[in-house]
Amino acid sequence: MKLLIVDDSDMIRRAIKRTLEKPHDQIEMASNGVEALRVIERFEPEAVTMDISMPQMDGLTCIEGILRIRPGTRILVISALKDKPTAVEAVRRGAQGFLLKPFTAEALSFEISDLLV
Amino acid sequence: MLDWTRNLSLSRSPAVVSLKRFGAFGGLGLAALVFLILGFAAKGSVVWPLVGIGIAGLGLAALMSPFAVIAEKERGKALVSSAQREAARMREQNAILQSSKNESDQILSAVRAHLMVIDASYRIQSRYSTELENVFHQGALGNENLLNIFQRLLSERLFKTSRDYLALLFDSSKKERTVAKVNPLDEVEVTVTNPDGSAGLRYLNFSFRRILDAGQIVKVLVSVEDTTDRTILERQLRESEQKKVKQFELLLGILHVEPTALSGFVALANEQLAFVDEALRASDFSSAQSGQTALLRQRLDIVMQRIHNIKGNASLLRLEHFERQAQEFEQRIMDLKHRAALGGDDFLTVVIELAEFRSDLDDLQTLRAKLVGIQKSVATYEESGDPLVQSVTELAQTLSKKYGKPVKIDADGFDSRKLPAEQRLVVKDVLIQLTRNSLVHGIEPRDERRASGKPTVATIDLHPMIGSAPGSFAFTFRDDGRGLDMAKIRSRAIASGLVDAKRAAGISDSDMAGFIFAPGFSTADTTSVDAGRGMGMNVVKQRVVDDCGGEIGIGSEPGLYCEFSFVVPMTPRVASGVGSA
């Protein structure tokens, strides 16, 4: 599986990577939306985990950008935002999954496998 | 829960027989199912749509069979020769449908969630739980657009989100599970008009299930639960739990403090809060004059100084709760200070914070009284030496552990016990501040000290000054840390606009050092609970010079030491208070 992890927290990026990484997986990471779009151009991941509140370009804008460049990409929003309107907006813009921070390793693995079904 | 199997016994309809198989399922799922099927039946559909329902993963085929039989008989109607027999059969069917409808009515009125079905244009279908009319305070919901109801009940932002959300529900490219997860209406606060005309607050929980026909989302089942009582109860429970936990923590947090010291803290905090009150009550708040922002900023500085002082004292006694609370209070004031414009309304948060602080102080006072009772019966407190020196030593040790900088206090000959209470408080405030500053800024980390050939354990010297003027209390405070960083002080003074670069070039180091007493001046790159806001030295100056009419001297040698000397007159001037600030 090719996966891109987008989150402005280095700690969370590494935690997600540790949880999901299996042999033969290719995982790349980006710390904001702008960086994510640059990675998407060359990396072509099947799945993306996406934070919402990030500097430079927020997750909502980034979701749209990613799907414009690679329409089939599956996006799982992982956010600490309890703000419902933002969550609805993320799904409306094309995120296929939604996971609230803090999350367990099991929940994350489940969401990713559900994303790829 | 009701026993659905038994309640469904009145009809001989095969549908009911099938339903009995689902007796083990939750009442809600079953109610929803009955509701759906009968809803369609009541509209007189002949061909039954294959209804796919997400509820509890039901084996729907079993339910479809009776209707397939009906449909087959319908189709064979032309072949039946006896019109009477057909009419009788129809009557029988109607009777079954009627009794089933009664049945569904019973179920709908018994379940706590109220159900309705909406179509793709969000119109409520004709069969719905009548209780919904009470929930929405609106009659005749059939054919009403759910969006209209949302518009009436919800805030504008939530209404817009709900409109987007309904679109997602009917969008087959979105997974139902994901859509369910972002449901914005799972606990919504709505304002309704009570029968007596007053406005009431209710909490509603909406949940949605898609209804599929041949893979297409044709309708959505909406269940609505009024959770007001539960929500309010939960909230009350949470609040009372929090209060209990807080009181307990407060009690644990003061057990180590000697009761008279606690009393002193409460008195000091109340005195400082009185200044804050006065600053906040000033008449300038109501006026909308120009330059008000600058004026209000000044007020904020006063509030900040006083709260900072409380924080210092809380930290001295290791009253963590109050230290934390003061820190948060300071943060709120800093946030306000950074606003472009300030109005009286902006101070509401400060006033609320103040009220909380005061209520906690009251709690502390009550707990203290109880504590005195307990401690009297357990042991008697023995005083050994100047308790102020003891407190400063404890503070230094706490900070020493926190920052990993070993330190010892040498306070030979220092004794503040004979000072009048007011001067003693001043000296205490000064010592708290300087001890923090030394541990945070002045004293180097162990490795750095070792590298520069200094003893790894730093020393803070606290000594009376010999030969000071009679009628005054004079002492020096000296640490053997890195000394004042004059280059940094110079650049910060210029950067923060206290002096322009040209003039600064002509100012000597010893004059430049005086800038550390300016409000908001800090050379720390980060802010912590112990230092960095630049209020500390300003408080020192305010207490010694402004409040008491005393004097402060500074001496420093780079890499070797920093020393402050103080002369505090025993007979103070009239307290400066807010008016002169």
Q: What is the pLDDT of residues B294-326, one digit of tens each?
A: 777 788 888 888 899 899 888 888 888 889 889
| End-to-end Cα, chain A, rounded Å | 13
Mean pLDDT of B172-180: 92
**What average pLDDT does chain B have?**
77
Quick check: B443 pLDDT over 90?
Answer: yes
Inspect the interface and report whether the beta carbons of B158 and A84 lie closer than 8 Å.
yes
Q: Please give the Cα distance from B169 to B174 (Å, whole number).
A: 8
- Chain B contacts of A84, Cβ < 8 Å? 158, 161, 182-184
Nearest to B482 by CA among B514, B451, B517: B451
Residue of A nearest to B165 (CA): A88
Q: Please give the Cα distance from B458 to B461 (Å, whole number).
A: 10
Residue B23 — left, alpha, or beta (φ > 0 → left; ψ -120 to 50 → alpha)?
A: alpha
Choosing among A91, A93, A100, A108, which should be mutated to test the B contact, i.e. which has the most B CBs within 10 A?
Answer: A91
Q: Please give the Cα distance from B426 to B551 (Å, whole number).
A: 13
Tokens of residue B550, six digits: 């005393």
Nearest to B97 by CA among B31, B44, B60: B44
The pLDDT, as a whole number, for residue B504 is: 84
Inspect the interface and report whether the beta carbons of B168 and A97 lie closer than 8 Å.
no
Mean pLDDT of B569-581: 52
The pLDDT, as a whole number, for residue B45 is: 36
- Percentage of chain B modeled with pLDDT above 90: 18
Residue B499's Cβ-side half-sphere holds a number of Cα atoms within 13 Å equal to 21
- Chain B contacts of A114, Cβ < 8 Å? 175, 177
DSSP A68-79: HH-TT-EEEEEE
Which A positions 38-97 lie with beta carbon below 8 A of chain B?
A: 84-85, 87-92, 95-97
Residue-wise pLDDT for A29-50, tens only, equals 999 999 999 999 999 999 999 9
The pLDDT, as a whole number, for residue A37 is: 95
Query: In which band, very low, low, confident or very high, does the pLDDT at B150 lie, cut at 50, 70 and 90?
Result: very high
Query: In which band, very low, low, confident or very high, does the pLDDT at B4 lie, cut at 50, 70 and 90?
Result: very low
- Residue of B31 and A16 predicted with greater confidence: A16
Inspect the interface and report whether the beta carbons of A98 and B178 lie closer than 8 Å.
yes
With beta carbons less than 8 A apart as the criterion, state whether B128 and B220 touch: no
Tokens of residue B29, six digits: 């799922």
Tokens of residue B398, six digits: 């706490």
Nearest to A18 by CA among A36, A33, A3, A39: A3
The pLDDT, as a whole number, for residue B354 is: 83
Residue of A nearest to B160 (CA): A85
Query: In which band, very low, low, confident or very high, does the pLDDT at B496 lie, cut at 50, 70 and 90?
Result: confident
Tokens of residue B170, six digits: 């009917």
Task: Say whether B44 sits in a helix, a strand or coil.
Answer: coil
CA-to-CA separations, B436 to B70, B396, B397, B516, in angstroms, rounded: 87, 7, 11, 15
Residue-wise pLDDT for B383-409, tens only, equals 567 888 888 898 899 899 888 899 999
Mean pLDDT of A88-116: 91
The pLDDT, as a whole number, for residue B12 is: 35
Nearest to A20 by CA among A4, A35, A37, A38: A4
pTM here?
A: 0.46
Residue-wise pLDDT for B196-254, tens only, equals 777 778 899 999 999 999 889 999 999 999 888 888 888 888 888 888 887 777 777 77
